């Protein structure tokens, strides 16, 4: 998933003042006898970039928007297992090419128009068909990833739709639970065109009310939601870019829930009786990639030496302070197919020096290290870079750190290997979309995914790994797929195209009286069953 494109959009408008709209505030409706309104105010890390589910490519947007939408299938609570959503059931043809979905009846979009097979076809064709009359109503960054394997969509009858693939693709059902597979109101898209992002209409538990850029996004409950009306009347999402400001507003009672807690404050917050810290191992990995096609990192001995030289455990314990888990593989333990038996490189400077000497670098060398100033999923990039720089200096490798603003940084990383001018190694992270190993291993290590075609930012190539990953994505037998992915992880660790450090935990802090809020591995928030005392 391209969650590392969750660009940290700078918010200029919002100051330190956050209007008090929490559930402790008086009801906003007139009349002394009006029922008390239940609201939850969420402090986001940055301004949403879009509320159109088909255009979302960052965490902050998905967290503010996805309660307005449903998909044909959905991930279960706290899991990436698939269960029915707008489709009651489905059939898959024996050749794995045809998926037939039988849709729920009597479901309506927030604008009162009916959900049906035509709406499903519209929602997919809008993204993948350049000739579709509303293809120009947005930029669909996830369309190729989510639907690139789709040949066409057929409306069988009003409540039956068939999706035909070009070739078998095992993770397809998981893709249909992702945000880009949300079903939108065709009527609203036709009415608002490119402005649909600011007039979003789905079938979800909450309806759009307003978006005041830099200040807040407000949603209200959908009393006619087909799964039952939510308990919360209103959700208010406020972008606050400074971690400490977000935390201060929470402790002042002006926010009910915040994301991205400063590591130094975590233990103090856990001890606060007025707050609750909710954690979950997420689908995340943080790494430093080598340019494996250029000297000195085209030599596997050098890549292994650097891995031995880095004290990864110290980074996790002393910098991340419990906000990350030490990684043994690029595939997080929360995703099936994770190989618990592969071993990451232990801290062994002497072994590092030995390998450098064998590779012809007894006195080390000098390299440039690209580092972003910030970025969702990037944790503590400059502090972690300094620790890596200090460790490498101990084995004779002189590291020159180059720091970039996040957007500029991505422009420099995702280029052809021979155009990567400012960095021999660089940091990156990935947060999974759908809980399938293909979403990590194929995208990040297949030689077909070298930039700019994909996200293999180490320009890693191993023909045996390619073969394993290609076979796994067209195999429907999960046991066989697991075996293929476990073998691929063994080879990748041996080749060491990355310094794999940790898997970041999802952590939110909420007021004590927010009830039944559960984190989801995809990072999307779910408020349909949340309540407040």
DSSP string, 14-52: --S-----STTSPPSSSSTTSPPPPEEEEEESS--S---
Structure tokens that stand for 515 in this block = 């009830």
Instruction: Taking residues 469-497, report their average pLDDT.
Output: 96
pLDDT at position 406:
80
Q: Higher confidence at residue 43 or residue 45?
A: 43
- Tokens describing residue 136: 């120009």
What's the rounded Cα separation, in Å, for the pair 34 and 104?
A: 35
Tell me the two tokens of residue 512: 């004590």
The model's pLDDT over 118-168, given as tens digits with 9 standing for 90+, comes to 999 999 999 999 999 999 999 898 898 899 999 999 999 999 999 999 999
CA 523 from centre of chain: 6
SS3 state of residue 231: coil
**pLDDT of amino acid 263:** 87
* pLDDT higher than 50, residue 34: no
Determine what percent of the chain is predicted with pLDDT higher than 70: 93
Instruction: Tell me the average pLDDT of the chain.
Output: 91
**What integer is the mean pLDDT of 452-467?**
94
The pLDDT of residue 35: 60
Q: DSSP characters for 115-149? A: P-HHHHHHHHHHHH-TTSTTGGG---TTHHHHHTT
Q: Which of 81-90, 296-305, 385-394, 408-417 has the lowest mean pLDDT?
A: 408-417
Cβ proximity of 355 and 306 under 8 Å: no
Mean pLDDT of 497-518: 96
Share of the chain above pLDDT 90, in %: 80
91-128 pLDDT tens trace: 999 999 999 999 999 999 999 999 999 999 999 999 99
pTM comes to 0.83
Tell whether the model's pLDDT for residue 32 goes beyond 70: no
Name the more confident of 466 and 377.
466
* Closest C-alpha to 66, from 457, 464, 524, 499: 524
Element (H, E) at 164: strand 160-165
Q: What angle do CA 53, 58, 64 make, to 5 degrees?
A: 60
Please compute the mean of the pLDDT values over residues 57-64 and round it to a whole number.
87
CB atoms within 10 A of CB 493: 21
Q: pLDDT tens-digit profile of 10-27?
A: 333 333 333 333 333 433
Question: pLDDT tens digits, residue range 189-231?
Answer: 999 999 999 999 999 999 999 999 999 999 999 999 999 999 9
Taking residues 466-477, what's their average pLDDT? 95
Q: Using CA of residue 421, residue 426, residue 432, residue 437, what is the dihedral sign?
A: positive
Cis peptide before 126 (omega within 30 of 0): no
Structure tokens at 21: 């709209």
DSSP string computed for 284-325? EEEEEEE-TTSTTTTSHHHHHHHHHH--HHHIIIIIITTSEE
H/E run at residue 354: helix 349-358
Q: Is the peptide bond before 413 cis (omega within 30 degrees of 0)?
A: no
Q: What is the pLDDT of residue 368?
A: 97
pLDDT digits (tens, 9 = 90+) for 279-336: 988 899 999 999 999 999 999 999 999 999 999 999 999 999 989 999 999 999 989 9
């Amino acid at each position: 998933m391209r969650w590392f494109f969750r660009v940290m959009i700078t918010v200029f408008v919002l100051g330190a003042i956050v209007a008090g709209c929490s559930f402790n505030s008086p009801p906003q409706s007139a009349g002394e006898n009006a029922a008390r309104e239940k609201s939850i105010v969420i402090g986001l890390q940055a301004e949403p970039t879009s509320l159109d589910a088909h255009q979302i490519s960052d965490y902050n947007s998905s967290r503010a928007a996805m309660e307005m939408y449903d998909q044909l299938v959905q991930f279960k609570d706290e899991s990436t297992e698939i269960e029915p959503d707008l489709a009651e059931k489905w059939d898959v043809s024996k050749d794995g090419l045809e998926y037939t979905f039988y849709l729920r009846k009597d479901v309506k979009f927030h604008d009162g128009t009916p959900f049906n097979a035509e709406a499903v076809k519209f929602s997919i064709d809008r993204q993948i068909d350049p000739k579709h009359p509303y293809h120009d109503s947005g930029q669909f960054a996830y369309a190729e990833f989510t639907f690139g394997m789709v040949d066409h969509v057929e409306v069988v009858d009003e409540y039956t739709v068939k999706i035909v693939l070009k070739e078998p693709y095992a993770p397809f059902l998981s893709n249909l639970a992702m945000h880009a597979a949300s079903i939108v109101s065709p009527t609203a898209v036709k009415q608002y065109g490119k402005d649909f992002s600011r007039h979003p209409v789905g079938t979800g538990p909450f309806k759009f009310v307003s978006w005041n850029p830099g200040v807040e996004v407000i949603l209200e409950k959908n009393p006619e939601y087909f799964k039952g009306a939510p308990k919360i009347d209103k959700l208010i999402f406020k972008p606050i870019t400074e971690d400490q400001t977000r935390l201060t507003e929470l402790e002042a009672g002006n926010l009910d829930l915040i994301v991205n807690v400063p590591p130094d404050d975590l233990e103090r917050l856990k001890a606060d009786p007025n707050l609750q810290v909710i954690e979950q191992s997420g689908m995340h990995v943080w790494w430093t990639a080598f340019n494996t096609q250029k000297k000195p990192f085209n030599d596997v001995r050098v890549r292994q030496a650097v891995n031995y030289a880095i004290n990864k455990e110290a980074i996790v314990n002393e910098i991340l302070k419990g906000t990350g888990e030490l990684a043994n593989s690029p595939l997080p333990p929360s995703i099936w197919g994770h190989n618990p038996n592969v071993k990451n490189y232990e801290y062994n400077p002497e072994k590092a020096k030995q390998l450098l000497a064998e590779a012809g670098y007894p006195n080390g060398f000098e390299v440039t290290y690209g580092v972003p100033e910030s970025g969702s999923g990037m944790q503590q990039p400059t502090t972690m870079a300094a620790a890596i720089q200090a460790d490498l200096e101990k084995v004779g490798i002189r590291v020159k750190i180059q720091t970039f603003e996040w957007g500029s940084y991505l422009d420099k990383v995702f280029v052809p290997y021979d155009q990567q001018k400012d960095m021999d190694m660089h940091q990156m992270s990935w947060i999974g979309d759908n809980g399938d190993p293909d979403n990590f291993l194929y995208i990040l290590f297949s030689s077909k995914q070298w930039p700019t075609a994909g996200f293999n930012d180490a320009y890693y190539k191993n023909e045996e790994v390619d073969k394993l990953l290609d076979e796994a994505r067209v195999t429907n037998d999960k046991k066989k797929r697991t075996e293929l992915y476990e073998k691929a992880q063994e080879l990748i660790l041996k080749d060491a195209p990355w310094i794999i450090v940790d898997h970041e935990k999802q952590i939110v802090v909420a007021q004590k009286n927010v009830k039944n809020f559960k984190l989801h591995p995809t990072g999307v928030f779910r408020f349909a069953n949340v309540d407040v005392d």
